[in-house]
Chain A
Amino acid sequence: MTDAHEIRHEIRIATGDDIVRIRRAVRTVACAARMSLVDRTKLVTAASELARNVIGHGGGGTVRIERLISPSGVSGVRMVFEDAGPGIPDVRLALTDGWSTGQGLGLGLPGARRLVDEFDLQTVVGEGTRVTVTKWTR
C-alpha cells in the first residue's frame, strides 16, 4: 500500500511536453500537501521556470518532486532540478532580475526564488546545476 506521505515523482526533463507533465505532477503533490490555490500556483510557476532552464540552459535533466512532512508536522513540497549542463559561472548574476545569457527576460531564477520558501542552487562549471526548492503549507 502506498503511504500518502511518500508521494514522489521523478520526471525526465527534455521537451516541452515534459514541462506540462511536471506542472501537472507538482499540482498533484501540492494538492496532497493541502496547499492553498495561490501557493499551488506559485509552486507550479516556479517549477515551470526551473524546468525551462534545465532544457534551455542545462541541456536537459531530471526533477524529483516529493511531499515533505516536517518534524513539527507541517506539510510541504520539495523539488530538485538537476542537469549535467555547463553550470553557472556567476550565481549572483544569474539570480539578478533581468540578467540572461539567452533571449529570456532573466526572471526565471530570481522569480522562482521569490515564489518558494527555501531555495538552494549548487552549480559547478562544466559539471552541472542542481536547484532545490521547498514550499511549506501555510
Chain B
Amino acid sequence: MDRVPILKAGDVLLVSIQTDLEDRTVMALREDLAERIVRTGARGVVIDITAVEIVDSFIGQMLAGIAAMSQLLDARTVVVGMRPAVAITLVELGLSLGGVQTALDLETGLRLLGAGPLDGGPSEAQDRR
C-alpha cells in the first residue's frame, strides 16, 4: 500500500497528496498524522491537494476527520490547493467541509498557521516531551 509522506518544517507538518487516493491510504495517513503530531508537538498541519483530481464524500469526510483529530491534539489543519473543478463538484455533491480550514496555496496556508514562508520561518520546534 502507498503511504503519503509527511514532511516537517518548523512546527508544521506538511503533506502533499500526489496520487489518486485509495481509501486505505487516506486512513493510514490519518493514523500517521496523529502519531507524528504527538511525537513532534507540531502545532499545524498543511495538506496540499493541488494534485488531487477528485474528492468524493469519503475522502472529504477523511479530510474533515483529520482536521477534527488534529484539533484535539492541539494542532490546526489547513487544506491547500483545492482545484476549482473539485470545489465546484463538492458544492454540488452537498459536502460543505464546514470544519475544514482551506487556503488557496501553500504560502497562504502556512501564513494562516502563523508559520510564515518556509525559508525565513522559525527554526525547528522543540519536541514537547
Contacts and interface: CB of A to CB of B under 8 A. Distances in A.
A38 interface: yes
A16 interface: yes
Nearest to B24: A16
A104 to B, nearest CB: 7
Interface in A1-52: 16-17, 19-20, 23-24, 27, 37-38, 40-42, 44-45, 48-49, 52
B120 interface: no
A107 interface: yes
A108 interface: yes
Contacts of A118: none
A20 B57 contact: no
Contacts of A112: 93
A114 B53 contact: no
B55 to A, nearest CB: 7
Interface residues of B, number: 22
Interface on chain A toward B: helix, strand, loop, or mixed SS? Answer: helix
- Which interface class (under 10, 10 to 19, 20 to 34, 35 or more) fits A? 20 to 34
Nearest to A103: B61
Given A45-B55, A52-B56, A24 B20 contact: yes
A111 B22 contact: no
Contacts of B61: 104-105
Interface in B64-104: 83-86, 88-89, 92-95
A41 B23 contact: no
A120 interface: no
B92 A42 contact: yes
Contact of A104 (B21, B54, B57, B89): B57
Given A19-B22, A111-B94, A41 B56 contact: no
19 contacts: A16-B24, A19-B22, A20-B21, A38-B84, A41-B86, A41-B88, A42-B88, A42-B89, A45-B54, A45-B56, A48-B56, A52-B58, A105-B57, A107-B94, A108-B57, A111-B57, A111-B92, A115-B92, A115-B93
Interface of B: 20-24, 53-58, 61, 83-86, 88-89, 92-95
